Amino acid sequence: MDFKKNLIISLLFAIAGFNLFGQHLEFNTKGFFGLWNNAQTSYFYDGAAIELLYERPYKNAALRAGLEYRSIDWGNQVSINLGYVLTHISKDKWNLDGVISPGIGLALFRENPLFVYSISYMPEFIFAKNKRRNLTLGLGIRYTHSPAYKEYGNINQVLDFPLKIGVRFMGKKKS
């Protein structure tokens, strides 16, 4: 448990540090449409999520870090999702980005939260662009695994299509 507490505290500090240099704040809602888990291969609904993230430009791309709370097969989980954002197409009114995003976190169980990790890729549109806020819409693919949950249930890995709708609040550009 100490390890997990330390993990959460470390991640909070990491996010806080990143946040200090963050330029954009984004709030996302997500729905997850399951494609596969380690007991079935078929469509299933696999929960929803809310996410708060910060993003800052980095060279020709951008880096992001966010906190996500989601419902999933084994209940609820919180995770820190990092992201590397590449802009594929940039127009006046819209962008098409691709986001590669690893995440680590905890499945929320009393007294014994379980480690979870994920990796995802999501193409996303940024549109209705203005100086203060943008809308974002994305559809990607994500693999999530809670290794220790295998002791309690048959399903501890899922492959989902996450659908994301969000609002990005633009910060002031730093000189």
Partner 1 sequence: MIIDHYVLHMKKLSLLIFILPIFYFTSCSYLPEELPTTPGLVIEENADYISLTTANTDNRKAGIVFNPGGLVDPHAYITAFEDFALIENRMVLIAKVTSNLAILNTSKASSIINDMTDVNRWVVGGHSLGGVTSCIDVFNNPDSFVGLFILAAYSIEDLRDSSIPIISITASEDALLDMEEFSNNNDNLPDPLRINAPIDIPEEGTSGMTVFYQIEGGNHAQFGSYGNQEGDGSATISSIEQQELTFNVLKKFMDCNEL
* Separation CA 111–CA 108 (nearest Å): 9
Interface with partner 1, residue 69, by CB under 8 A: yes
Q: For 57, which DSSP code?
A: E
Q: At closest approach, how far in Å is the CB of 34 from partner 1?
A: 6
Among 1, 3, 60, 111, binds partner 1 (CB under 8 A): 111
Nearest 5 degrees, angle CA 96-CA 16-CA 68?
Answer: 55
With binding defined as CB under 8 A, does residue 23 bind partner 1?
A: no
Exactly one of 23, 61, 75, 119 binds partner 1 (CB under 8 A); which one?
75
Residue labelled with tokens 């006046």: 92
Q: Which long-range contacts (CB under 8 A, 24 or more apart) does 42-45 make?
A: none
Report if residue 126 touches partner 1, rule: CB under 8 A: no
Least Å distance, CB 33 to partner 1, is 11
The residue (of 72 and 126) whose beta carbon lies closer to partner 1 is 72
Which structure tokens are listed for 95?
């962008």
The interface with partner 1 within residues 33-52 (CB under 8 A) comprises 34, 37, 39-40, 44-47, 52
Distance, CA of 134 to CA of 11 (rounded, Å): 27
CA-CA distance, 16 to 8, in Å (whole number)? 12
Site of interaction with partner 1 (CB under 8 A): 8, 12, 15-16, 19-20, 22, 25, 34, 37, 39-40, 44-47, 52, 54, 67, 69, 71, 73-76, 78, 108-113, 151-155
